Every structure is written in C-alpha cells, then in structure tokens.
Amino acid sequence: MLDADAELIDERIAVTGDLVATVRELMTAAATSELAPEELEAIRGELAVLAARLAERSRPTPLRQHLDLAAIDRVRAGASWPLWRHNPLAIPLDVRVHDGVASADLVPGPLYEGPPGSMHGGLSAAVLDSLLAVLAQVQRRRVVTVGLQVSYRAAIPLGAPVRLVGRIVGTEGRKTTAVGEILLPASGPGQPETVAVSAEALLVEIPGAPD
C-alpha cells in the first residue's frame, strides 16, 4: 500500500470516529430534547438533509478499525483499543489489557436505559461479550462467541461510572472460556466494588488472520 493511501485511510478512520461520536451526542439530544414541537420538526428537516448528504457515497457496513497483529502488539504494550468507535449503535469502549485482565470504564448514558433509570440487560451482555472477545483476540485467538451466560445481580444506574473487567479462565483446543463483570463503584473507602453483572462466555476460534 502506498504511503498516501495509508494516510487517507488513517484520516478517514479518525474523522469518521469523530463524526460518529458527534452522532451519538445527537442521538441522545434527539431522544431527550424538550424543545417545542415546531423547533424539533425544523431540526428534523435539517438533519434529513445531512443524512442524505452523507449517504451520497456510502459503504455496505460501518467503517471498522481492525485489531490486526500490529494493533494487538500495541495493546499488549499498554495502548487501549477503541472498540466500536465507528458504529453509533454500539457502545464504544476503550479496552485495556494488563497482566491478562481486560478492563474498560463506562458511564451508561440515557440511551442505555432498560428498566426506568437503569441499564438495559441486553446492553450489559453486549459490552461484556465485546470485552471478552477482544481479550481473546489480544491473545491472538480470532474468535466468535458461541455461548454467553449472564447473571444480573444489581441494577446499574444511568449516569454513574462503572468498570468492566474480564479474564480468560480456560482454553481447550479451539475453545476459550472467559469470565467478566460489570462493577459498581465502592460505596466508601475500604469498601469493595459491587458486582452488578457477571458473565461467562464460550468463544470458539475461527480460521483467518486476526482482525
């Protein structure tokens, strides 16, 4: 690949990431705005123009930043991996891997709501699934999830920080078992974090280069 092509791809990855981050802000603002109906209708018209403009040239699926061998080496050296940066429907996570433990911080926003005021269980499962799949990929295993057992132990309030952690507990042939948790902050100094959600994933290696 020519240097100029690589630069263009890097620029597209960066600019699209910023665009999608702004779209996420827009999604939250649209879903929660209490402006007058006529103002909302005017904004909808402006947004429809922008959506049509973006769709003038498009690709079949979202842009994707590949967790290739070079990226895996960077993560193993301490860099975080910006997961789902280019898909506004997914929850973005900056995944870190240290001493075999994956972790990420998250503040569930208004759009993550399931039961009133707390995070949707399917989204909790999705973020843990993603965290554990990335952890396996950082161990150079290109995997998909074939099973995910999730246990919901405490509600996750919206707007407050939580911590995701995950680790691999076993490998056998193509199969990897990994466990993860979503932790609520400690209620005070010296207190433990509370496990809000725990999950066990069965991941199976598939052929092909890591991505």
Ligand X SMILES: CCCCCCCC(=O)SCCNC(=O)CCNC(=O)[C@H](O)C(C)(C)COP(=O)(O)OP(=O)(O)OC[C@H]1O[C@@H](n2cnc3c(N)ncnc32)[C@H](O)[C@@H]1OP(=O)(O)O
Interaction of residue 206 with ligand X, rule CB under 6 A? yes
d(CA 208, CA 44) in angstroms, rounded, equals 43
Q: By CB under 6 A, tell whether 122 contacts ligand X.
A: no
Nearest residue to ligand X, using CB? 146
**Under the criterion CB under 6 A, does residue 142 sit at the interface with ligand X?**
no
Interaction of residue 150 with ligand X, rule CB under 6 A? no
One residue of 45, 60, 116, 173 binding ligand X per CB under 6 A: 173
Residue at 86: amino acid letter: H
Does 202 sit near ligand X (CB under 6 A)?
Answer: yes
Give the largest Cα separation in the chain, rounded.
60
Please report, for residues 113, 131, 152, 206, the alpha-carbon distance to residue 107 in angstroms, rounded to integers and kept in the order given: 12, 15, 18, 32
What distances in angstroms separate CA 191 from CA 45, 105, 163, 184, one per listed residue? 51, 19, 15, 11
Residues 6+ positions from 47 with CB-CB distance below 8 Å: 26, 30
Which CB sits closer to ligand X, 28 or 177? 177
Residues 2-61 that bind ligand X (CB under 6 A): none
Beta carbon of residue 111, minimum distance to ligand X (angstroms, whole number): 20
157 part of the interface to ligand X, by CB under 6 A = no
Binding residue (CB under 6 A) for ligand X from 175, 195, 198, 210: 175
| Six token digits for residue 136 | 């396996």
